[in-house]
Amino acid sequence: MALDQDTFDLLKDTVRRFVRERLVPAEDAVEEHDDVPPDILQDMKDLGLCGVSIPEEYGGLGLSMAQECEVAYELGQTALAFRSAVGTNIGIGSQGILMDGTPAQKAEYLPRIASGELIMSFALTEPDAGSDAASLKTRAVADGSDYLLSGSKRYITNAPRAGGFTLMARTGGAGASGISAFIVPATLPGITIGKPDRKMGQRGTKTCDVFLDQVRVPAANLIGGEPGKGFKTAMKVLDRGRLHISAIACGMARRILDVSIAYAQNRKQFGSRIGDFQLVQAMLADSQAELLAGWALVRETARAYDAKPPGASDPDVSMQASCTKLFTTEMVGRVADRGVQVHGGAGYMNEYKVERFYRDVRLLRLYEGTSQIQQLVIGKHLMRAP
């Protein structure tokens, strides 16, 4: 699946201009009001951004992973709240249905997800099951032609905006093989949305707990129609998501470097531009070199991802996706830290964008698998090698 090159180039150009002309000027409003303005969200939907990863037959743009990463790199160059508002539809909320859903599930949900009419969230994490997601406790008990779901989910991105959840619950015994994935409409009786989480950064993103109390979900909403496959689905979704996050990290590193260079060109001390001091240049140079390395890694891993059969999991590609997320999200943390340093005291002040970006990128090392979990995935893979 890929969009032809000419059409893709046009799309990328449009997204780049949209980011610069529409989103960047709205960054302060997002920070102040802790929300993405509804007209901007609508413009993002109209541009097709909710459907970049969904095939054209379901109303999406049908981008390859490599193309999705190019778009994510552009979206990463502005407040990360904009990307987050459509990010669950592009990735973790939709991909389980696309990869493992039945034809009927795909036909029913994907077109509405692609258009943005339906915002989907991904609900895996629970209060007692974060990195150890296979220990999740939310239960799904068969009851006639339905399942009754009870439990609670934590830190669910876009839950306050969501019309539905790709939600993992336990249909069987302990461990990963007892977990199934469901499509759960947010309007079902028994679902309660918690109060919005107050976070360190990424203002304008929405996360909260989701509580389920005997929620009656039709068995037809079991993804793929077969119980016990949900953990595998979730892990495949996360492999793809990790690449998307890596591209976002590179985009944000680009933006932080740009604002840092601009500051270094203008700020004068000791009668010179601070950017003329070699110690300041060293910080900028380290960030530039690491960004190039990270972005090359994203492109290479995305190519490997596209080369495998669609929807299949490949341990080599999973390992590469973990390497890519580990490197790029740690990299953008270092770039942001240097960005603050280049700005001196101004870098600690709210009115400078770099202060905000420094807080925003911290999350990238935590969700969709912490850096330690990426190390574990890589380490396990290496120890399995003959």
Binding site for ligand FAD (CB under 6 A): 121-125, 130-131, 155-157, 199, 207, 363, 366-370, 372-373, 376
Neighbour count for residue 309 (Cβ, 10 Å):
7
Q: How far is the CB of 340 from ligand FAD (least distance, A)?
A: 21
Residue 54 or 159: which CB sits closer to ligand FAD? 159
Please identify, using beta-carbon distances, which residue of 64 and 95 lies nearer to ligand FAD: 95
Residue number, 92 or 317, with CB nearest to ligand FAD: 92
Four-CA torsion 237, 79, 44, 115, nearest 10 degrees: 20
Instruction: Provide, rounded to whole angstroms, the least separation between the CB of residue 369 and ligand FAD.
Output: 6
The residue (of 121 and 318) whose beta carbon lies closer to ligand FAD is 121
Annotated catalytic residue: which of 31, 74, 126, 368? 368
CB of 133 to ligand FAD, least distance (A): 7
Distance of closest approach, residue 240 Cβ to ligand FAD, in angstroms: 14
Residue 89 Cβ, how far from ligand FAD at the closest point, in Å? 12
Q: Is 290 among the residues known to form the active site?
A: no
CA-CA distances (angstroms) from residue 197 to 152, 156, 222, 354? 15, 10, 29, 23
Shortest-Cβ-distance residue relative to ligand FAD: 130
Instruction: Please provide residue 174's backbone torsions phi and psi, each rounded to the nearest 5 degrees.
Output: -65, 160
For 218, the token pair is 């039709």
Taking the least distance from each CB to ligand FAD, the nearer of 120 and 274 is 120
Quick one: 194 or 344, whose CB is closer to ligand FAD? 194
In the complex, the smallest distance separating the C-beta of residue 328 from ligand FAD, rounded to whole angstroms, is: 17
Q: Which residues are catalytic?
A: 368
